[in-house]
Amino acid sequence: MSDALADVVQAGLEALDLPAFEDLTPDQARGAVCVWGAEQLTAETAVDLGEQHGPDGRWWPRACPRHAADRAHRALYEHVPLCEQCVDEAALCPVGRVLYRLVREGRR
């Protein structure tokens, strides 16, 4: 993944407002359970939320598609009014597209 693409994806993930590492169960912190719920995750069902840096080092949160879509939907409502590109033409905003894709993927 290019650095520019990685930055866009990271910005989209930051908009999801992940829970604090200290508030997670061990299973949530290791990606076996959704960070916003209690759903067990598999490689097929999990939405990878990228590498994060916490007090105990790196961690790799994951979410179920439903919770990822709900968070992305909320993030879109917060992002769009404040983003000049979204106000002008939302289809050209890379962060908005990442969030929109998460919404669509989770609603399937």
Confidence band of 16 (pLDDT split at 50, 70, 90): confident
pTM: 0.81
pLDDT per residue as tens digits for the range 50-102: 888 777 778 888 999 999 999 999 998 998 888 898 888 878 888 888 888 88
* 3-class SS of residue 33: strand
Please state, in angstroms and rounded to a whole number, the distance separating the CA atoms of residues 42 and 50: 16
* 3-class SS of residue 42: coil
Which ranges of 1-108 does DSSP label H, i.e. alpha helix? Answer: 3-14, 26-29, 65-79, 84-89, 94-106
pLDDT per residue as tens digits for the range 71-82: 999 998 998 888
